[in-house]
Amino acid sequence: MRLHRRIPQLFGYDLIHIQRNHPTLESHLKFLFEKLNINIVLDVGANRGQYGCLLREMGFTGDIISFEPLKEAYQELLQSSAGDTKWHTYNCALGSVSETTEINFTSSSVFASFLNPNEYAKEVRSEQVQIDQKETVEVKKLDDVFEEVISKCSGTNHQIYLKMDTQGFDQEVFKGAEKSIEQIAALQSEIAILPLYEEMPDYIESMTAFREKSFELTGLFPVSRDHDSLFLIEMDCVMRRKS
């Protein structure tokens, strides 16, 4: 046994390799992508392109397919992806049915949602979830566009990661991927410990739905919490398909 490990053990401690434990979402994704050879990321709820930029900062060189329905946010997404030939963008939302519908537009586009904020959200995020107006957007099923968007990606041995961040609408996105989900190697969803929207499933319902499609948990990463009670509100849930 090496000396640097032996000394802590004399005092009742053990050294843990930080990289193996993936203390952050970023380090976990980097390890997971390498392990599963992920070369395509479906970025659902792209907003201004923050997630795509994060992937590039992580060193991900594969294809990114971003979906963002809001017009203003989509224009910023185009700027974020400009010059990146492997970053493809679509000005639409994904859901369980293909339709044209209204989305609640808030002061911060990050919190725009098809669902209405509940009383708890109004209490802890009053300004952020205040509905200023509604915007008419196009919603498509992933099953209906899957072959088209994947055909634009390089290579043939596609290993696909599905990231969802849609302010309470992730399960609707998942329902619209009934057929294509079989080709998804791993996924990420922002799940609610304390739901912020009416009719939004909680984390137990969400994880149960994913497990029913043969996905198992690889990591949970806190996104937000109630500063007064310290209760967790949302977490990023990362799961991979069972072999």
Residue at 62 is within a domain: yes
Give the predicted TM-score (pTM) of the model.
Answer: 0.89
pLDDT digits (tens, 9 = 90+) for 184-229: 999 999 999 999 999 999 999 999 999 999 999 999 999 999 888 9
Per-residue pLDDT at 143 exceeds 50 = yes
Residue at 173 is within a domain: yes
**Exposed, middle or buried by CB within 10 Å (0-12, 13-18, 19+), for 94?**
buried
Compare 243 and 157 and report the one with higher pLDDT.
Answer: 157
pLDDT digits (tens, 9 = 90+) for 90-116: 999 999 999 999 999 887 788 899 999
pLDDT computed for residue 21 by the predictor: 63
Cα three-residue angle 175-163-33, rounded to 5 degrees? 130
3-state secondary structure 84-97: CCCEEEECCEECCC
Residue at 204 is within a domain: yes
- Do residues 41 and 61 touch, judged by C-beta distance below 8 A? no
Residue at 218 is within a domain: yes
- Do residues 89 and 74 touch, judged by C-beta distance below 8 A? yes
CA distance 47 to 225: 21
pLDDT digits (tens, 9 = 90+) for 21-57: 668 999 999 999 999 999 999 999 999 999 999 999 9
How many Cβ atoms sit within 10 Å of the Cβ of residue 73?
20
**Cα dihedral 168, 115, 55, 180 sign:** positive
Once rounded to an integer, what is the mean pLDDT over residues 69-87? 97
When pLDDT is cut at 50, 70 and 90, the band that residue 129 belongs to is confident
**Among the listed residues 92, 104, 109, 115, the one whose alpha carbon sits nearest the alpha carbon of residue 43:** 92
CA distance 113 to 101: 12
Residue at 132 is within a domain: no
Q: Which domain holds residue 150?
A: 23-103+138-241
> What CATH number should be reported for the domain holding residue 165?
3.40.50.150
Cα three-residue angle 163-119-171, rounded to 5 degrees? 25
Residue at 109 is within a domain: no
When pLDDT is cut at 50, 70 and 90, the band that residue 10 belongs to is low
Residue at 157 is within a domain: yes
CA distance 70 to 164: 16
Residue at 42 is within a domain: yes
Number of domains in the chain: 1
3-state secondary structure 20-47: HHCCCHHHHHHHHHHHHCCCEEEEECCC
